[in-house]
A and B are shown apart, each in its own frame.
Chain A
Amino acid sequence: MFSRRDFLQLAAAAAAVMPAGGTRALAQQGLSEAELLRFAPLGNITLLHVADIHGQLVPVHFREPSLNIGVGEARGLPPHITGKDFLQRYGIPEKSAAAYALTFEDFEALAKSYGRIGGLDRAATVIKLVRAERGEGNVLFLDGGDTWQGSLGANRSKGQDMVDCMRLLKPDAMTGHWEFTYGEARVKELIKGLGFPFLALNVRDTEWNEPVFEPYKMFDKGGVKIAVLGQAFPYQPVANPRWLIPNWSFGIREDDVRATVEKARKAGAQLVVMLSHNGFDVDRKLASRVSGIDVILTSHTHDALPEAVRVGKTLLIASGSHGKFVSRLDLDARDGEVKDFRYKLIPLFADAIRPDAEMAAAIAKARAPYAGELRREVGRTESLLYRRGSFNGTFDDLICAALIKERDAEIALSPGFRWGASVLPGAAITIEDIHNATAITYPNAYRLTMSGERLKEVLEDVADNLFNPDPYYQQGGDMVRCGGLGYSVDVRKPAGQRISGMTHLKTGKPIEPKKDYAVAGWASVNEGTQGPPIWDVVERYIAGEKVVRIAPNTSVKIAGV
């Protein structure tokens, strides 16, 4: 496969000049913009895809997961492979640039060698070059959503900074998820100023059951009529606060997907692309049940896969998160089907790819109002701080410790979000870092009492959202993170029976169903939740600690993997 060979070459180039322990300068010599972008064009159409940028205008460190559990038919299949298994599956050498971009192996050391990845100015360079090479009339650039949220600037400007910068990239369409957490009025306002369509075939108003957004849009590219269908995150009112979008109803709506594909084909579409925020496993199932979709550009579950996954005649693309990658998919689309394709997941190594000047200026302008605040140092960390993974992340361990101390609680709960950039050991923790892990529109850190019984219900409920063997019943987040609470989980048990051995870590005693515990948490989906914003809680805690050290988390025992 082209992508594999490409990655191998990229990896080899880097490996040749950087044996383990090499300097950063040496590592970078093996990574050139030309090498990262090298691609033998194919066919008549190029799709460019970004997804789950999560408010990250500038390059980040982002550690990919060490644990990404798949259940049911997805067990052991990409994207549910990590680390060395991932490297082996895709033929990527250890310690290579590709290994650093795609896995957690040697992350701390490789981060020092290869540096940050991403930045919208680097994405702009890549997108402009591909458009110039292929011709504007042959390129579709699509944004899978989760673009407007995830950073201090995005939250303060209610998505405006991201919209202003993304607009310069002139996407052909987008769909959404966290976008909706700015509330109905703000979403409508931002969409009005986009200059390109916001597509979502699976959102209807609760009163008349009528479509809220354009379900699909037809494009003429490469001499072919292309229908792009939008599929927003199906569980918005369940996973995020419903009160922010009380008049909109979501869902997978498989029948509507099928009907929209048929409608688009009838209207003359020779290529059908679904821009989806379903999450990878949901899209894999959908592709096996709905015919007529040529390409699904997946997102939501933040998977970065260097090869397309084929389900029947449908190609699934997974373009990663946090602005680390731009996907390029060249298609030879003729006679109503894809004859051939070539795919590359392009990692945006910030030291190798030139920043686009126009975008760099726009980013600087967007960040200017908070520049001093963003770089203000709150403390330092001796441990790598990261979030992504099925169960634990050190950043969440830090947040839980902050909640327990600052809110005087016995137990802390932190949501299993998949977004949140990493902070390297030895680095300062800045205000920007804290907000990269906490910037939401419902940030109140609550404190309440919960019975042991209720705590178990919460854990079981979230566990089923991850480990229900039918992807249509999953919501695509990771497990809720716990502080002060240990438990065992058997992922293969049915709903309501996965969690056992709940332990109050402070006393070492079992959690008693009828006993009340003081619980602090954040990101409650309930309206009117009281408490200080979580970023203030975390800032106070880090400032008090001065230096953060996170001990390995051994409080969750996992079975059935």
Chain B
Amino acid sequence: MTLILNRRQALAVGAGAIVVLGGTAGPAFAKNDSDDIIKKFTGNATPQQGRVKLDLPEIAENGNTVPMTISVESPMTAQSHVTDVLVVADGNPRAGVATFHFSPASGAAEANTRIRLATSQNIIAVAKMNDGSFFTASKAVKVTIGGCGG
């Protein structure tokens, strides 16, 4: 008795489970539970495009440590400021990357850090404003095997 499946069996399993993405699909921009995390963060509200700036390289030099800067346009006053910024990665094994908390005392809604990307994917930032509105931006970052350029 072996546990080796032939191709037809494997396909049948794949069809039943739906989740089997072709193992050879490579750097497809796969999805995890990032949508759910965003929905939870916004309470199902759809964030508007704009005000958020996500600075990431188009192609990562090293997927293990990708520099990222987020900034949100806001006067950062008691009347109008950013309270939180959620960052998710839709192709990592775990979608959550970070949540940054701000207050008027922050002066500016800006943060930078380095993140780890398992594969090519979209990074999505969602900013929550003190008036309960949400703004978002996203950027595709490619993580490549490397070589062959020139």
Contact = CB atoms under 8 A, between A and B. Distances in A.
A238 B149 CA distance: 8
Interface in B122-150: 140, 142, 144-150
A539 to B, nearest CB: 22
Contacts of A252: 57-58
Contacts of A513: 23-24
Contacts of B28: 494-497
Contacts of A240: 147, 149-150
A347 interface: no
Interface string B31-65: 00000000000000000000000010111111000
A524 to B, nearest CB: 6
Main secondary structure of the interface of A (DSSP, over half): loop
Contact of B59 (A178, A416, A458, A473): A473
Nearest to B23: A453
A444 to B, nearest CB: 13
A472 interface: yes
A59 interface: no
Interface string A52-72: 000000000000000000000
B75 interface: no
Contact of A249 (B58, B67, B147, B149): B67
Contact of A235 (B23, B59, B62, B145): B59
B142 A473 contact: yes
A39 to B, nearest CB: 32
A415 B149 CA distance: 7
A496 B26 contact: yes
Nearest to B65: A206
A204 to B, nearest CB: 9
A495 B67 CA distance: 23
B25 interface: yes
B148 A415 contact: yes
Given A255-B55, A458-B145, A496-B26, A178 B61 contact: no
Given A235-B59, A473-B58, A460 B150 contact: no
Contacts of B26: 456-457, 460-461, 495-496
Interface residues of B, number: 25
B92 interface: no
Contacts of B147: 239-240, 415, 462, 523-525
Interface stretch (A398-406, A431-439, A474-482): A474-482
A367 to B, nearest CB: 24
Given A238-B144, A458-B145, A475-B149, A250 B61 contact: yes
Contacts of B61: 237-238, 242, 249-251
B14 interface: no
Given A417-B150, A419-B150, A523-B148, A453 B29 contact: no
A476 B58 contact: no
B148 A237 contact: no
Interface string A463-474: 011001010110
A495 B29 contact: yes
B27 interface: yes
Interface string B62-87: 10000100000000000000000000
Given A251-B58, A419-B150, A465 B27 contact: no
A525 B67 CA distance: 21
Nearest to B119: A496
A209 B60 CA distance: 15
A154 B32 CA distance: 49
Interface in B1-28: 23-28
Interface range, A side: 35 or more
A456 B27 CA distance: 11
A468 B23 CA distance: 21
Nearest to B56: A251
A504 interface: no
Contact of B146 (A178, A239, A453, A472): A239
A95 interface: no
A461 B24 CA distance: 11
B25 A497 contact: yes
B24 A453 contact: yes
Contacts of A300: 150
B102 to A, nearest CB: 22
Contacts of B58: 251-252, 470, 472-473
B61 to A, nearest CB: 4
Contacts of B55: 255
Contacts of A322: none
A391 B62 CA distance: 27
B150 A477 contact: yes
B27 A461 contact: yes
A233 B146 CA distance: 15
Nearest to B149: A239
Nearest to A300: B150
A65 to B, nearest CB: 15
Contact of A457 (B24, B57, B62, B140): B24
A460 B59 contact: no
Interface string A235-266: 10111101000000111100100000000000
Contacts of B145: 457-458, 461-462
A240 B146 CA distance: 7
A458 B58 CA distance: 19
A239 B24 CA distance: 22
Contact of B27 (A251, A415, A480, A495): A495
Nearest to A249: B61
A177 B149 CA distance: 10
Interface of B: 23-29, 55, 57-62, 67, 120, 140, 142, 144-150
Q: Which 8 A-B pairs have the closest CB atoms?
A: A239-B149, A496-B28, A460-B26, A475-B149, A496-B26, A237-B61, A477-B149, A415-B148
27 contacts: A177-B150, A235-B149, A237-B62, A240-B147, A240-B149, A249-B61, A249-B67, A250-B61, A251-B58, A251-B61, A252-B58, A415-B149, A415-B150, A418-B150, A452-B24, A453-B24, A456-B26, A457-B24, A457-B145, A460-B27, A475-B59, A475-B149, A477-B148, A495-B26, A495-B29, A495-B142, A496-B25
Interface of A: 146, 177-178, 209, 233, 235, 237-240, 242, 249-252, 255, 300, 415-419, 452-453, 456-458, 460-462, 464-465, 468, 470, 472-473, 475-477, 480, 494-497, 513, 523-525
